[in-house]
Amino acid sequence: MKNLKLFTPLFMLLFAYSNAIAQDNIEPTVLQVNNSEKCFAECLMGDQYEEQTTDYYVFTGNAEEEVDLETVVLEVKPKTGKWVKKFKSPDCAAPNPDDCWVKCYVTEPAVMEEFKVLKDKTQSDNYTVKSHTAKVLVKKGGYTEEREVLCTDKITPSVVKQLQKALKNMGYDLGRSTKKLNTRTKEALTQYQKRHKLPVGQLDLETLKKLNIEF
């Protein structure tokens, strides 16, 4: 119970911090690197994963062979999701009818398969090799880290327009497009960053590159 009491304020602090940086412009630190100006700011970091490949020796023999087997369940098709148009909002007054669609995020569950694999491949020649690649958690998130971000003077109307268009195309509700990095755009950006395990709360270069934004 004591540990739970300590954890709760920490969680609330991180949640409040992520919301604060999504709502407000935090002035980045400006550094001179190789005669050029670069900016850095604190971002809330999510879980970090890396792909790891494992070979499994799937047994193809019969029950008469005395071999040591184990059951392995593998994800052969990952969980997927996409934004789909469900219905048009009856109260929508947008001049473009396509802006009136209400989109929902629909997911399809992962497809799993069960295999009998050899614990020791020297026990039999009756097997096929199945290589399986999966994302493995290598570093737990929830901490802040300084990352390179777009300098304030480079957050131009062109950059904001590209950002809003990219987020809108993925189904995020931004309202009317503007030339300013308004609250709704920041909220949508934060949601996108959390969903894709990116640094949260700033226009960091990793996020901009993933969104194919030119700056």
Which SS3 state, helix, strand or coil, does residue 38 take? strand
β-sheet bridge partners, residue 105: 83
pLDDT category of residue 17 using cuts at 50, 70 and 90? very low
Is pLDDT above 80 for 12?
no
Q: How far apart are CA 117 and CA 123, in angstroms?
A: 11
Which tokens sit at 59?
A: 């047994």
DSSP 194-209: HHTT--BSS-BHHHHH
Higher-confidence residue of 25 and 61: namely 61
Predicted TM-score (pTM) of this structure: 0.55
Q: What is the pLDDT of residue 123?
A: 95
**pLDDT for residue 48:** 86
Mean confidence (pLDDT) of the chain: 83
- Please check the confidence at residue 2 and state whether its pLDDT lies above 60: no
Rounded CA separation 199/208 (Å): 11
* Listed residue (174, 214, 172) closest to 195, CA to CA: 172
The pLDDT value recorded for residue 31 is: 61
Sign of CA dihedral 15, 175, 39, 205: positive
Alpha carbon distance, N-terminus to C-terminus of the chain? 49
User: CA 195 to CA 211: how far, in whole Å?
Assistant: 13
What pLDDT, on the 0 to 100 scale, is given for residue 33?
A: 57
pLDDT one-digit tens code per residue, 121-133 = 999 999 999 999 9
